[in-house]
Each structure stands twice: as C-alpha cells, then as structure tokens.
C-alpha cells in the first residue's frame, strides 16, 4: 500500500460515514487528478469471528489500475467482471483457508446483514514482499444492489495525482470543493490513511515501541551484567596480559569487541529467526497483514545490537583497562 | 655479584636505591619497604625469602615495573623505570621482564603454543619468526610435544613450565619468579627449579626468585632475607649446579 501518488478522500465526520457516489465525477474533473476509484469496507465474518480478514467492495472499473502492485492475471480479472458474485482474493488469504479458484465462499454480514456468498474468480499477488495479500475483494455494484439501505454511497475514494509533489495543494483543493456541503471531505495521503487505519485497532506503533524499549533496556542490563561478571572472572587473565606488556587500550578494545561480538551474534540470530518467522507471511492472523522484516529493518536491528554491545561493554571495558596488575594478582 | 649496601658500581644490571613503599590502610600508614638498596649483576640467580608480609612480592613488583615506589629509584640496564609513564613502563616490561607466577596464570582458552606466543604479539616479528621462537622456548622447557595442548590437559608442573616458556620467549633482560613452586608437588617443583638453574647456567639469564621454600632458595647463588621491609642479611647459597 501507501503509493506516493495516491490520495484518499474520506468523509470528514468519520471513516465509517459514507460519501456520495456523485463525488466520483467531480473529483475526476479536478486538474492534477488522473484517476479515481472507490471502495467500501464490508466487515463480514467467515465461519468464525476469529477468522478476520479485510473485505472490500471495489469499483470494478478502475480499482485494478489504481493498484499496480497487486497483480491479477487478465483471464481471472475477466472472469471476475463476468460474475456479479465474483471475488478476487489475495494469495496469502487463499493459502490461509486452503481455498481455490471456483470455491463458493459464504460470508455473514455484520454491518450489512444477511448471508452473502461469493465465487472466487481470481487471485492477486503482491509485486513486493511487503504488499498485503490478505484482502478479499468483491464487486461494489453487487454490494450496492444487495444492501438494504444507503444506496449510492461509497466508503472512500482513492485518487491518483499527476505529481506527488502537488499532494499538499490538491488535498486543500479537494476539501475546499466539498466544504459547506452536507458531506464534507477529509483528504489525506495514502500513507497517513494507512496509519490511521491501523490506529483503529489501537496504537500498535506505541505498543510495539514500548515492548521493544523494555526488551532493549532489559537486554542492556543483562548484557552489561554478564560482561561485568565475565571481566571479574577473568581478572587474572587480563592482569597477565597487562603484565606481559599489553596496553590499557588493547584490554579496553578486547572487552568491547567481545561484548559487541556477543551482542551481534545474539541479535543476528534473533533477526534471522524473525525473518524466518515472517517469510511465510503475516504471523498475526490478519491483525497486521503487512508484517514484513525488510532489509533496512535488519540493518537497524544489527545497529541496535551493536549499540547494546557497545553500551553494555563500556563500563566493564573501562574497569578492565584501569585494572592495576598488582591489585588484580593480589586479589586472586 | 649481588650487594645490598648501595655501594656497588654503576654497571649492575638491576640497581635499587633508597627504595621504599608505603601503603595507607584506613588512617594508618604501612611501610612495606624502607630505604632498600640492591644491586644485581647480569646472569645472577637471587632468592628473596622472608615471612609473609615482609615485602618480598612488593619488591618484585617494583623491580618488574608493575608498581611504583613511594620513594627511591629502580634502574634496569641503565633505564630508570621509576621515572617512566604508565604506557612507557608497559612497553618496557614487554621488552625487559619475564614474569613467572605461582598460579601459572595461563589463558585457559589458548593452547600452550598460543600462551607462549602472547608476548611476541607485541613485537614486530613475522608469524614464521614467532613460531620459531615459541618452538625454541617450548623445547627449552621440554614441552615441544605439548604445543597443541590446552592448560587443562597439562599437569601443574607442565603448566608452570609453559609459564616459564612464556616468560623467556621474548628473551627478556631478567626473570621475576614469584613463588613458582608454591603450588607444585616436590617432584614437579624440582623440575621447575632445575629448569631455572639451566636458564641461568646455560642461557645466561638473570633470575630473581621469591619463595618461602628453603629448598627452592638453595638453587639460587645468593639468598637475601627480607624482614619488616628491610634486607637484613645475605647468605650465599650452594654454588651453581
């Protein structure tokens, strides 16, 4: 998700309040806007409430073009267009429930009541590892026809803009166009929209940062304590090194390098496990579908491991370098 | 030639003048060594004896540049080490002093070869040159067939011989041995003392030995007694074997 050339237009009151379908043409006429599509959140339940996955009623005309990162084979897309009850599912979702093309999927409406049934006509895959392939798409025209109330409205619009640098100006232009109308809009970049969407489930970022910080400082204390004990246990060896002529700086570097090596090996193993854990896709059962350990995240992780090693080893290393040979040998 | 009267000529290898060391414990001053004079020539083998707390190890530490005196000076081969900075003293120790400790103090994760090689890592020698020096040192102590063994795979006597090989490998000016047989059985102790004898006799090494054991001290050419921080008597031991 989060294309730099895409904006999302929502109802100003709330993300759950709809927007008129008529806005589509008005948005398309704004200079700088090159494409408009829309979608609706469905929020149904498949078999059991624990089987959460996002379901969207999508605009069959432009949705696919709006998201080139989601790849649907042409024949499958045509089959989807030819079946009013057709659905396209992400490959991770297909794998999760062991579905296959042609299966008929019953979904119980929660917001929009009734038992809805869809035929899987195609599967989309993501071009990049971080692309979310846990979504379930079906046709908005079928959705609008079947739902018993509020017809002719959509959940949100997604628009493509000609120049990403023009985003700030266009946000203002769009919202001004619908200002003082019965349905005012709130336009934002797709990145900001995705972040606010995740926040519907709670402040995940804050939660992860809090847990991560606690783990980080615990590791710092544990590693520091381990190294302090290691230095104390090897006082004699360090004293001997200094007695035979190794300088204070060498002893300092020796302890620091050891601490950092231990931290990087430990951190590396942890990162490798995290990568393995997420290789097969979202490990959170649909809660965080874009769960992905990227190369920059691995680099940051290794950097943090090095920082833990450096910080935890600093005091023991300084104490080792200041060790007086005479005192150290007498202590033994 | 060894003397303690401070009147020997300036050609002594090791010369201490007015050497004193005072520790402060609580509000009390403890004078461990006081006004000590000592001259030791090259290729001498001197033993220091005395009761616990008499200052034997402190004297050895001062002569080896591990500690600094409260007063007086120590000059070795013309260099006054008591005027040196910490870093310079460290470099001086690497070049001039070989230490042999009571508890051997080998690094347990290194083999005998690697332990002996340690002091050479501070020199500019190539890997091949270091290997040759280490093999020679281990051959001198009779352990050339134990090079790949770790300390835990050696007996106490063998560990101490590796410690001696480490002390001599960089060809230091003198050896300081602090109770080198204190942790060994009689047989192993005799082997180590015989080895020190040979280093003095065959290789011209200068050895200063601190010991509680009169039988160990008898291997030295001269025994000096320390009592309450003062060298009070000197006894000529049996002639070199």
Contacts of A323 in chain B (CB under 8 A): none
Interface test with A, best of B52, B69, B105, B171 (most A CBs within 10 A): B105
Q: Is B105 within 8 Å of A246 when comparing Cβ atoms?
A: no
Nearest to B184 by CA among B205, B213, B204: B213
How many other C-beta atoms are found inside a 10 Å radius of the C-beta of residue B126? 9
B186-203 vs B127-140: helix axis angle to the nearest 10? Answer: 120
User: Which domain, by its residues, includes B230?
Assistant: 42-66+85-236
pLDDT, tens only, B194-232:
999 999 999 899 999 999 999 999 999 889 999 878 887
Nearest to A111 by CA among A38, A42, A15: A42
Q: What is the DSSP string of A26-70?
A: HHHTSTTEEEEEEEEE---BSSSTT----EEEE-TTTHHHH-TTE
Q: What number is the average pLDDT over the span B43-69?
A: 91
pLDDT, tens only, A223-236:
888 888 888 888 88
Q: In this structure, is residue B208 part of a structural domain?
A: yes
Structure tokens, A195: 């972040």
Q: In this structure, is residue B11 part of a structural domain?
A: no
Q: What number is the average pLDDT over the span A198-216?
A: 78
Task: Give the whole-angstrom CA distance, residue B236 versus residue B222.
Answer: 5
Domain count, chain B: 1
Task: Give the whole-angstrom CA distance, residue B99 versus residue B209.
Answer: 10
pLDDT bucket at A289, cuts 50 / 70 / 90: low
Q: What percent of chain A is predicted at pLDDT more than 70?
A: 93
**Highest-confidence segment of A159-168, A195-204, B22-31:** A159-168
For residue B58, give the chain A residue with the closest CA: A326
**In this predicted structure, which of A106-115, A295-304, B3-12, B28-37 has the lowest mean pLDDT?**
B3-12
Chain B contact for A64 (CB, 8 A cutoff): no
Mean pLDDT of chain B: 89
Q: Is B86 within 8 Å of A325 when comparing Cβ atoms?
A: no
A59 has pLDDT over 70: yes
**In this predicted structure, which of A47-61, A103-117, A286-300, B155-169 has the lowest mean pLDDT?**
A286-300
A268 has pLDDT over 80: yes
Q: In this structure, is residue B33 part of a structural domain?
A: no
The values of phi and psi at residue A149, to 5°, are -145, 170
pLDDT, tens only, A15-42:
889 999 999 999 999 999 999 999 999 9
How many other C-beta atoms are found inside a 10 Å radius of the C-beta of residue B190? 16
How many other C-beta atoms are found inside a 10 Å radius of the C-beta of residue A176? 11
Q: What number is the average pLDDT over the span B136-147?
A: 93
Q: Which residue has the higher pLDDT, B10 or A249?
A: A249
pLDDT bucket at A132, cuts 50 / 70 / 90: confident
Residue of B87, B103, B119 with shortest CB distance to A332: B103
Contact (CB, 8 A) for B134 and B116: yes
Q: What is the pLDDT of residue A332?
A: 43
Q: What percent of chain B is predicted at pLDDT more than 70?
A: 94
Coil, strand or helix: which one is A261?
helix
What is the sign, positive or negative, of the torsion defined by CA atoms of B99, B105, B111, B114? negative
Contacts of A327 in chain B (CB under 8 A): none
Q: In this structure, is residue B112 part of a structural domain?
A: yes
Structure tokens, B57: 């190890």
Q: What is the pLDDT of residue B146?
A: 94
Q: In this structure, is residue B187 part of a structural domain?
A: yes
How many other C-beta atoms are found inside a 10 Å radius of the C-beta of residue B13? 18
Q: In this structure, is residue B241 part of a structural domain?
A: no
Q: What is the pLDDT of residue B27?
A: 82
Q: What is the pLDDT of residue A234?
A: 84
CATH number of the domain at B111, please. 3.40.50.300
Mean pLDDT of chain A: 88
B238 has pLDDT over 70: no
Q: In this structure, is residue B71 part of a structural domain?
A: no
Q: In this structure, is residue B180 part of a structural domain?
A: yes
How many other C-beta atoms are found inside a 10 Å radius of the C-beta of residue B209? 27
Interface test with A, best of B63, B66, B163 (most A CBs within 10 A): B66
pLDDT, tens only, B108-135:
999 999 999 999 998 889 999 999 999 9
b/e map of A89-107 (b: 16 or more CB within 10 Å)? bbebbbebeebeeeeebeb
Q: Is B101 within 8 Å of A326 when comparing Cβ atoms?
A: no
Q: Is the ipTM of this complex over 0.90?
A: no
Q: What number is the average pLDDT over the span B90-113?
A: 92
């Amino acid at each position: 998700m989060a294309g730099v050339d895409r904006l999302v237009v929502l109802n100003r009151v709330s993300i759950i309040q709809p927007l008129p379908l008529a806005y589509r043409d008005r948005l398309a006429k704004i200079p700088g806007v090159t494409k408009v599509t829309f979608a609706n959140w469905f929020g149904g339940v498949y078999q059991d409430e624990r089987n959460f996955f996002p379901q969207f009623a999508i605009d069959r005309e432009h949705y696919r073009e709006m998201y080139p990162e989601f790849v649907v084979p042409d024949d499958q897309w045509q089959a989807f267009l030819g079946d009013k009850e057709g659905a396209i599912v992400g490959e991770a979702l297909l794998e999760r429930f062991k579905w296959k093309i042609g299966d008929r999927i019953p979904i119980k409406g929660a917001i929009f009541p009734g038992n809805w049934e869809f035929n899987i006509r195609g599967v989309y895959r993501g071009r990049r590892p971080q692309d979310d392939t846990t979504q379930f798409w079906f046709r908005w025209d079928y959705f609008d026809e079947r739902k018993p109330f509020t017809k002719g409205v959509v959940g949100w619009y997604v628009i493509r803009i000609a120049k990403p640098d023009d985003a700030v100006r266009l946000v203002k232009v769009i919202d001004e166009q619908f200002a003082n109308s019965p349905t005012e809009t709130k336009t934002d970049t797709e990145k900001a929209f995705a972040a606010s969407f995740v926040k519907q489930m709670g402040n995940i970022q804050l939660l992860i940062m809090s847990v991560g910080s606690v783990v980080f400082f615990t590791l710092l204390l544990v590693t520091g304590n381990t190294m302090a004990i290691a230095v104390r246990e090897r006082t004699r060896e360090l004293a001997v090194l200094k007695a035979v002529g190794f300088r204070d700086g060498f002893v300092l570097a020796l302890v620091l390098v050891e601490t950092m090596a231990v931290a990087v090996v430990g951190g590396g193993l942890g990162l490798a496990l995290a990568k393995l854990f997420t290789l097969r896709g979202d490990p959170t059962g649909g809660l965080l579908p874009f769960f992905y350990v990227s190369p920059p995240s691995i680099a940051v992780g290794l950097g943090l491991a090095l920082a833990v090693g450096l910080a935890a080893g600093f005091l023991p290393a300084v104490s080792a370098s200041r060790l007086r040979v005479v005192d150290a040998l007498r202590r033994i | 030639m060894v003397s303690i009267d401070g009147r020997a000529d300036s050609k002594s290898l090791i010369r201490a003048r007015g050497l004193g060391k005072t520790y402060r414990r609580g509000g009390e001053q403890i004078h461990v060594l006081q006004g000590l004079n000592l001259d030791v020539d090259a290729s001498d083998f001197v033993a220091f004896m005395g009761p616990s707390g008499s200052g034997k190890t402190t004297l050895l530490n001062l002569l080896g540049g591990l500690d600094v005196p409260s007063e007086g000076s120590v000059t070795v081969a013309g260099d006054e080490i008591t005027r040196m900075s910490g870093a310079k003293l460290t470099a001086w120790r690497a070049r001039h002093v070989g230490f042999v400790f009571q508890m051997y103090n080998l690094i347990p994760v290194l083999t005998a070869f690697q332990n002996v090689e340690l002091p050479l890592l501070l020199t500019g020698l190539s890997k091949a040159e270091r290997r040759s020096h280490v093999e020679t040192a281990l051959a001198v102590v009779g352990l050339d067939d134990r090079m790949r063994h770790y300390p835990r795979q050696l007996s106490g006597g063998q560990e101490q011989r590796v410690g001696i090989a480490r002390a001599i490998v960089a060809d230091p000016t003198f050896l300081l041995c602090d109770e080198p047989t204190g942790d060994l059985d009689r047989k192993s102790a005799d082997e180590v003392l015989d080895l020190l004898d040979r280093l003095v006799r065959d290789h011209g090494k200068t050895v200063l030995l601190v010991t509680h054991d009169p039988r160990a001290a008898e291997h030295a050419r001269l025994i000096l007694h320390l009592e309450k921080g003062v060298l009070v008597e000197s006894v000529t031991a049996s002639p070199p074997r």
